[in-house]
Chain A
Amino acid sequence: MHATPHVTGYLSEHFGDDAFVTLEGYRARGGYEAARRALTALSPADVIELVTASGLQGRGGAGFSTGQKWGFMPRGGERPKVLVCNADESEPGSFKDRLLMERGPHQLLEGILIGAWATGAERTFLYIRGEYAHATAVLELAIREARSAGILGDRVLGTGFRHDVVLVRGAGAYICGEETGLLESLEGKKGQPRRKPPYPAESGAFGMPTTVNNVETFCHVPEIVRRGAERFRRVGTEQSPGTTLFGVSGHIARPGLFELPLGTRLDTLIHEHAGGVPGGKRLKGVIPGGVSMPILPADQLDVPLANESLRERGTSLGTGGVMVMDEDTCMVRVACVISWFFRDESCGQCTQCREGTGWIHQICARLERGEGRREDLDILLEVAGKMEGATICAFADAAAWPIQGLLRHFRADFEAHLGSEGRGAGGRGRCPFPHSFEL
């Protein structure tokens, strides 16, 4: 994977520039001027209005309006407010936040500061995936630099605003990337999503009004303050403005991060930017937004990469992790691996998710072994259907969707795997696809 994105915008244009990681280098490139402007010339309400006007959508997967989310925070009040930066990037196929933290930690901190000003938060908990050791070290250093330069602390940038960023490392659970699972983990509890309401803006971390935003979301904010909402909206689509970082992986000539406007067509990203499928192979399917998003078959790549258009195709942008699979890929194997992942990561609170992920994985594993029966395919769809929308958090949906997508578009692969309708063994031997698939 290339550390440097192939196409750049403001998010990633300095990724190749080692100086950008340091406070000095970041400031030399105009860093923290947006935060200074927000804190001195704009009221919190102005910032929220600006970010709302920009149409910035959260980049953590749900795509909710960031400005609106900030607007949910109560004004004033006795209770200290909390901002949380969700850096628990654990969606297989997604790696944008890691690069944003490793290559531009101050860009993130500046976005956080502006968000803190807008929401009135005194403190940000930056909850980072435990496996991200390097990003953690880079951020620790950046936070130290920012504190000693008066950018974080009791008088942020010489103003009366007080803010600090506390780095908290996760311990390796996917579910701790879910907003309220993260909050539980942050409080030192087992990472299990909370029932909502109350929503975090009312009672989040330690019972305080809380806003949780993704790393990339914060990274867009300085640019919006610097150059205005109109400028931000110049690229992207009407509903999904701006650029985003697509992380392309799998059977692709140039895997890596690509900063492109939202609405860029999927086939453009794959063929023009990422170099297409290597080895003269044909493309078979693409997961457009990390493993929790339903796959698209090769004949549906003419879709703009934006939530509104992907939803029409029964999938979603998710976290922008684009996973490309060539013609040799066995989709039963894909289902088996993805369902294993979700079985392993389910927190186990809700019945449908705890038992459903286990059952789905066992069926997929049996199908892969060539011991499946035709009715297993219907059971897969039925169980996935009962998991959808029926649980405390969206994890069960995330576990159900990819299975539904694979069966919708690649049912033939599953049928090829059936063990002579269960009457004999050897189905695996009949699988025509040599590629294994691993996460």
Chain B
Amino acid sequence: MARFKVDDVEYEAEAGTPLLRALDELGVLMNGVDVPHYCWHPKLSVDGSCRLCQVEIEGVPKLQIACDTPVRDGLVVRTDTARVQSAREGVMELLLLNHPLDCPICDQAGECQLQDYAFDYGVPAARMREPRRAAKKRQDLGKAIVFDQERCILCRRCVRFCREVTGTNELGVLRRGDRSVLETAPGLPLDNDYSMNVADICPVGALTTKDFRFKVRVWDLENVPGVCTGCSRGCNVEIGVARGNVQRYVPRRNDAVNETWLCDVGRLSYKEIGAPDRVRDVSVRGEHGLTPASLEEAIAGASKRVRTVLDEHGGAAVAGIASAHACNEDLEVFGALLDALGAGARGAPVPLGPSDELLVRPEKAANAHGARALGFGDPAPWLDRLGGGDVRVLIVLGHDLLGADFLGSEAALSEIGTVILLDTHQSALARVADFVFPARHPAEREGTLTNHAGRVQPVVRAVEPPFPAWTEGEILARLGTALGLEAFGSAPAPGPGR
């Protein structure tokens, strides 16, 4: 370990670690120690070209770039001198020479490092009298990204991302000098499973996502920490909320889970929160099919049906299928309910899909690990016996069993007698369900999810659904109370919409 000093404060880091990296790992970069930087990114190789991170090193005549200065014992760094300030101003002035000064109509405004650093280190007025360089606007780079050449400061983070992280190499800087331009090769658009990350790492408004650009001003966003539910990785995200709706996910750095990245599929999975096919009503099947009912009516109806089965056939006639999307707290309640009923079978099917080496896991549910840990194993061994008459009550948490081919047929399910469904989204299962309860998405409630590696991650409420909805745990607890089960005797009554 090497002890070094930055602006009179002593730090310790592995000798040889580049200074910016060391400060980042110590958690002080731009958080106590201000070393502005553009080309450097904690998850990409050192480029050393923006030259903004120049600092003074004792004993070295020239200013040095912090991104490429190895830490050594006794290193003395100053970031607060007039020389450093002047160098930063010089770089900022040069970067702004040809950069449009139209922040009000730029989508990056408000989360733009050029804008931020210009306030902190910039010069007040432009001194170049020549017209700014005109370049391509709104260039379509691929399925998800639009490029504004005029705003690009050529930090090449995106180039290195496509080279080092995805290995797809779609982007490069063509030409040279002040004609340099970021480009894709003809016929080879930016098209990889992580392409939207280039918009996150772009420090300016050059790369924007087709999904989010000009949708909402970022200062109108409330950012809530969340977890992506697209697969069992549980990538940490920042949920951007405006006008009561989730507007985007952007990756939230967590070096133990997703570093600073998020796959495109996961990023766009926020759309399921405000999707039109959400289950919006409590409903009960009557003579005319499913008809809306109050929560109390539905709970009373469902408990009556369950009680009858319990009395006639015992708890073994009850089966529970949990969702690997549900939070641990719901699964605990569900487990307790099934225990109290003496249920015959339980499990949580996990949908599978494509995976990759970087983030995407094959299990397409955020809490598959948690479900298994709470006793909801693979239901496959008993699923095909569902229609045989042994199971008379089936309680299902958010799972499209028909659509996902977990169950034989609609006909088999209809033999069960009573199907109680708690779900966030409409599914084919509703066609045979007798009771349907609208459940909350993880972005709409508090809880925890356990990722593939066993990491328990909290979720908090980012938005409120525009219809009454409850967590699965609340609904199941109500059911337990209505059934008079001892374990649920003192369960609090859910309030309206909770």
Give A residues with C-beta under 8 Å from B.
Answer: 173, 175, 190, 195, 343-352, 354-359, 362, 366, 375, 379, 383, 386, 389-392
Asked whether, in the complex, the Cβ of A195 is within 8 Å of the Cβ of B51, the reply is no
From B94-102, B309-317, B320-328, B339-347, the one touching the partner chain is B94-102
Q: Which of B46, B95, B173 contacts A355 (CB 8 A)?
A: B95
Q: Which residues of A contact B178 (CB under 8 A)?
A: 343, 346, 348, 354-355, 357-358
Nearest-neighbor residue (CB-CB) of A373 within chain B: B129
Asked whether, in the complex, the Cβ of B176 is within 8 Å of the Cβ of A359, the reply is no
Asked whether, in the complex, the Cβ of A347 is within 8 Å of the Cβ of B94, the reply is no
Q: How far is the CA of A97 from the CA of B178 in the complex (A)?
A: 30
User: 1/0 per position for B32-63, CB-CB distance to A under 8 A?
Assistant: 00000000000000101111101000000011
Q: How far is the CA of A421 from the CA of B461 in the complex (A)?
A: 64
Asked whether, in the complex, the Cβ of A390 is within 8 Å of the Cβ of B94, the reply is no
Asked whether, in the complex, the Cβ of B177 is within 8 Å of the Cβ of A358, the reply is yes
Asked whether, in the complex, the Cβ of A195 is within 8 Å of the Cβ of B46, the reply is yes
Minimum CB–CB distance for B382 against chain A, Å: 59
Q: How far is the CA of A345 from the CA of B98 in the complex (A)?
A: 19
Contacts A345-B176, A357-B177, A390-B63 hold; do A352 and B94 have CB atoms under 8 A apart? yes
Q: Which of A348, A359, A366, A383 has the most CB of B within 10 A?
A: A348
Asked if B180 CB lies within 8 Å of chain A CBs, one says yes
Asked whether, in the complex, the Cβ of B62 is within 8 Å of the Cβ of A348, the reply is no
User: 1/0 per position for B86-112, CB-CB distance to A under 8 A?
Assistant: 010011001101100000000000000
Minimum CB–CB distance for A161 against chain B, Å: 37
Q: Which residues of A contact B177 (CB under 8 A)?
A: 343-348, 354, 357-358
Asked whether, in the complex, the Cβ of A347 is within 8 Å of the Cβ of B54, the reply is no
Contacts A348-B173, A348-B179, A351-B94 hold; do A362 and B130 have CB atoms under 8 A apart? yes
Asked if B175 CB lies within 8 Å of chain A CBs, one says yes
Minimum CB–CB distance for A190 against chain B, Å: 8
Nearest-neighbor residue (CB-CB) of B38 within chain A: A351
Minimum CB–CB distance for B204 against chain A, Å: 13
Q: How far is the CA of A343 from the CA of B178 in the complex (A)?
A: 7
Q: Which of A348, A352, A358 contacts B154 (CB 8 A)?
A: A348
Asked if B222 CB lies within 8 Å of chain A CBs, one says no
Asked whether, in the complex, the Cβ of A355 is within 8 Å of the Cβ of B94, the reply is yes
Q: How far is the CA of A358 from the CA of B130 in the complex (A)?
A: 11
Q: Which residues of A contact B128 (CB under 8 A)?
A: 359, 362
Q: Which residues of B contact A347 (CB under 8 A)?
A: 176-177
For B, the interface residue count at a CB cutoff of 8 angstroms equals: 31
A-B contact count (CB 8 A): 84
Asked whether, in the complex, the Cβ of B62 is within 8 Å of the Cβ of A352, the reply is no
Asked whether, in the complex, the Cβ of A352 is within 8 Å of the Cβ of B51, the reply is yes
User: 1/0 per position for B116-133, CB-CB distance to A under 8 A?
Assistant: 000000000001111000
Asked whether, in the complex, the Cβ of A195 is within 8 Å of the Cβ of B68, the reply is yes
Nearest-neighbor residue (CB-CB) of A344 within chain B: B177
Contacts A347-B177, A390-B63 hold; do A355 and B97 have CB atoms under 8 A apart? yes
Asked whether, in the complex, the Cβ of A386 is within 8 Å of the Cβ of B90, the reply is yes
Q: Which residues of B contact A344 (CB under 8 A)?
A: 177
Q: Which residues of B contact A359 (CB under 8 A)?
A: 94, 97, 128
- List 7 additional A-B contacts (Cβ < 8 Å) besides A350-B50, A355-B97: A345-B177, A351-B49, A354-B94, A359-B94, A362-B128, A383-B90, A390-B90
Q: Which of B49, B94, B153 contacts A356 (CB 8 A)?
A: B94
3 nearest A-B pairs in the assembled complex, by CB-CB distance: A358-B178, A348-B180, A355-B94
Asked whether, in the complex, the Cβ of A355 is within 8 Å of the Cβ of B49, the reply is no
Q: Which residues of B contact A375 (CB under 8 A)?
A: 127
Contacts A195-B68, A345-B177, A359-B94 hold; do A351 and B127 have CB atoms under 8 A apart? no
Q: Which residues of A contact B46 (CB under 8 A)?
A: 195
Give B residues with C-beta under 8 Å from A.
Answer: 46, 48-52, 54, 62-63, 68, 87, 90-91, 94-95, 97-98, 127-130, 153-154, 172-173, 175-180
* Interface CB pairs A-B, < 8 A, 24: A173-B176, A195-B46, A344-B177, A345-B176, A346-B176, A346-B177, A346-B178, A347-B177, A348-B175, A348-B177, A348-B180, A349-B49, A350-B49, A354-B154, A355-B98, A355-B178, A357-B178, A358-B178, A359-B97, A383-B90, A390-B51, A390-B62, A390-B63, A392-B48
Contacts A352-B91, A352-B94 hold; do A195 and B176 have CB atoms under 8 A apart? no
Minimum CB–CB distance for B17 against chain A, Å: 15
Minimum CB–CB distance for A353 against chain B, Å: 8
Q: How far is the CA of A358 from the CA of B98 in the complex (A)?
A: 10
Q: Which residues of A contact B129 (CB under 8 A)?
A: 366
Q: How far is the CA of A354 from the CA of B90 in the complex (A)?
A: 13
Q: Which of A345, A348, A355 has the most CB of B within 10 A?
A: A355
Asked whether, in the complex, the Cβ of A348 is within 8 Å of the Cβ of B97, the reply is no
Contacts A359-B128, A390-B63, A392-B49 hold; do A351 and B91 have CB atoms under 8 A apart? yes
Q: Which residues of A contact B68 (CB under 8 A)?
A: 195
Q: How far is the CA of A375 from the CA of B49 in the complex (A)?
A: 29
Q: How far is the CA of A351 from the CA of B54 in the complex (A)?
A: 12
Nearest-neighbor residue (CB-CB) of A175 within chain B: B176
Q: How far is the CA of A267 from the CA of B375 in the complex (A)?
A: 94
Q: How far is the CA of A432 from the CA of B153 in the complex (A)?
A: 41
Asked whether, in the complex, the Cβ of B48 is within 8 Å of the Cβ of A354, the reply is no
Contacts A345-B177, A346-B176, A390-B54 hold; do A352 and B90 have CB atoms under 8 A apart? yes
Q: How far is the CA of A351 from the CA of B153 in the complex (A)?
A: 8
Q: Which residues of B contact A390 (CB under 8 A)?
A: 51, 54, 62-63, 87, 90
Q: Which of A345, A349, A366 has the most CB of B within 10 A?
A: A349
Minimum CB–CB distance for B405 against chain A, Å: 50
Minimum CB–CB distance for B218 against chain A, Å: 26
Q: Which of A343, A351, A362, A366 contacts B51 (CB 8 A)?
A: A351
Q: Which residues of B contact A349 (CB under 8 A)?
A: 49
Q: Which of B54, B90, B130 has the most CB of A within 10 A?
A: B90
Minimum CB–CB distance for B47 against chain A, Å: 8
Minimum CB–CB distance for A88 against chain B, Å: 15
Asked whether, in the complex, the Cβ of A389 is within 8 Å of the Cβ of B49, the reply is no
Q: How far is the CA of A366 from the CA of B180 in the complex (A)?
A: 23
Q: How far is the CA of A359 from the CA of B87 in the complex (A)?
A: 17
Q: Which residues of A contact B176 (CB under 8 A)?
A: 173, 175, 190, 345-348
Q: Which residues of A contact B153 (CB under 8 A)?
A: 351
Q: Which residues of A contact B94 (CB under 8 A)?
A: 351-352, 354-356, 359, 383, 386
Q: Which residues of B contact A343 (CB under 8 A)?
A: 177-178
Asked whether, in the complex, the Cβ of A366 is within 8 Å of the Cβ of B154, the reply is no
Q: Which residues of A contact B95 (CB under 8 A)?
A: 351, 355
Minimum CB–CB distance for A421 against chain B, Å: 14
Q: Which residues of B contact A190 (CB under 8 A)?
A: 172-173, 176
Q: How far is the CA of A346 from the CA of B176 in the complex (A)?
A: 6
Asked whether, in the complex, the Cβ of A350 is within 8 Å of the Cβ of B127, the reply is no
Minimum CB–CB distance for B267 against chain A, Å: 31
Q: Which residues of B contact A362 (CB under 8 A)?
A: 128, 130
Q: How far is the CA of A239 from the CA of B435 in the complex (A)?
A: 96
Q: How far is the CA of A252 from the CA of B63 in the complex (A)?
A: 42
Minimum CB–CB distance for B206 against chain A, Å: 15
Nearest-neighbor residue (CB-CB) of B98 within chain A: A355
Q: Which residues of B contact A352 (CB under 8 A)?
A: 51, 90-91, 94
Q: Which residues of A contact B127 (CB under 8 A)?
A: 375, 379
Minimum CB–CB distance for B454 against chain A, Å: 40
Minimum CB–CB distance for A89 against chain B, Å: 19
Q: How far is the CA of A72 from the CA of B68 in the complex (A)?
A: 22
